[in-house]
Amino acid sequence: MKNSSISISFPRTRMRRTRMRKFSLDLVQETRLSTSDLIYPLFVIEGHNKKEEIKSMPNIFRKSSDLLLKDVENCIQLGIKAIAIFPYISKKLKDDSGSESINPDNLICNTVRKIKKEFPDIGIICDVALDPYTTHGHDGLIINEQVDNDKTIDLLEKQSLNQAISGCDIIAPSDMMDGRVGKIRDFLDKNNYINVQIMSYAAKFSSSFYYPFREAIGSNYIGDKIDKSSYQINPGNSNESIRGVSMDISEGADMIIVKPGMNYLDIIYRIKNTYEFPTFAYQVSGEYAMLEHAFQKKILKKSKTLIETLLCFKRAGADGILTYFACEAAKEIIKLK
Ligand code: PBG
């Protein structure tokens, strides 16, 4: 309540009064989830009619694009408006400089074209970073044993433009190089892709909760040795994320992502309050794995727990959520109506 001089005291005030009946519980609910809040991340592999299990993410599969089309159709039917696609690149196409990332006919670009042809209205988000394409698994080019900021950006610009040309709606740089949002924006504009949006991973923490994702995109053979702390944010910092987000907004980002989600609700809250800018939470692979394992063992009840995790992201200030549970959550939301 805005006026803290109002005294609220028992028995005139009974907090439980509105909680007693379902109708009034619903009437006073402050935050709500809708299927259009959800973004569904998908993993794509080369081939036809191929479906591979991701062991650390039960129930999530890498699929060839023909099978992926069915998932996209399912999403649309459930009221989900956007997907994020990530490639699993075969080892023989990986090299030190991630050169496959700038191939205009790579797996991601071809997949975007296929999806757009069938479903022109779905929003497609493509990650921009080199990690699926490099043998070392880092998001950037390694020069003199360091991830080189500026030389990496030259590649990211090309990767972004190729994705835009293939029909991607939103470019999502997840690489965390400094200055890449501005450079990508200028490069897209120079090439007349002025309306392709940028959803920047602006507050991306150097987190252990990404490990299952690394299995999903096939950089797990580098294991948990890979250390991204020279470019992702230290989980102990909050002010630093505020500075990083201000840079990305001033460079032309249209939306920003906070990642991971569950342990970083304070960051979502602070960023939303500071900038009043479109802010998205990413419920990442490790969060998915923890929850799904507990659901499968019946330690937690899926339907309610899942909705609670997503609702809390919105309460903290997120406008939407990237989640591997998007389809199941959408079914639940439709049921709740
Ligand atoms: C790669 C990227 C990562 C994720 C999204 N893009 C992993 C990383 O930075 O190591 C993580 C997503 C997840 O864990 O679900 N730049």
Task: Give the 3-state DSSP-derived string for 64-107, with helices as H, strands as E and coil as C.
Answer: EHHHHHHHHHHHHHHCCCEEEEEECCCHHHCECCCHHHHCCCCH
pLDDT at res. 272: 98
Beta-bridge mates of residue 63: 44, 51
DSSP secondary structure code for residue 4 in this structure: T
pLDDT in tens, 241-267: 999 999 999 999 999 999 999 999 999
Name which residue sits closest to atom 5 of ligand 1, judged by CA. 174
Residues forming the active site: 204, 259
Ligand 1 atom, smallest distance to 175 CA: 16
Chain centroid, CA 110 distance in Å:
21
Ligand 1 atom, smallest distance to 137 CA: 10
pLDDT at res. 220: 65
pLDDT in tens, 133-155: 999 999 999 999 999 999 999 99
Q: Quick check: 222 pLDDT over 70?
A: no
Q: Quick check: 4 pLDDT over 90?
A: no
Q: Are strands 82-87 and 61-64 parallel, antiparallel or unpaired?
A: unpaired
φ and ψ at 108, to 5 degrees?
Answer: -65, -50
Q: Tell which one of 89, 222, 259, 262 to mutate to probe ligand 1, the residue whose CB is within 8 A of the most ligand atoms.
A: 259
Ligand 1 pocket residues where CB is under 6 Å: 127, 129, 131, 139, 174-175, 210, 213, 228, 284-285
pTM of the shown model: 0.96
pLDDT at res. 1: 64
Q: Tell which one of 108, 138, 139 to mutate to probe ligand 1, the residue whose CB is within 8 A of the most ligand atoms.
A: 139
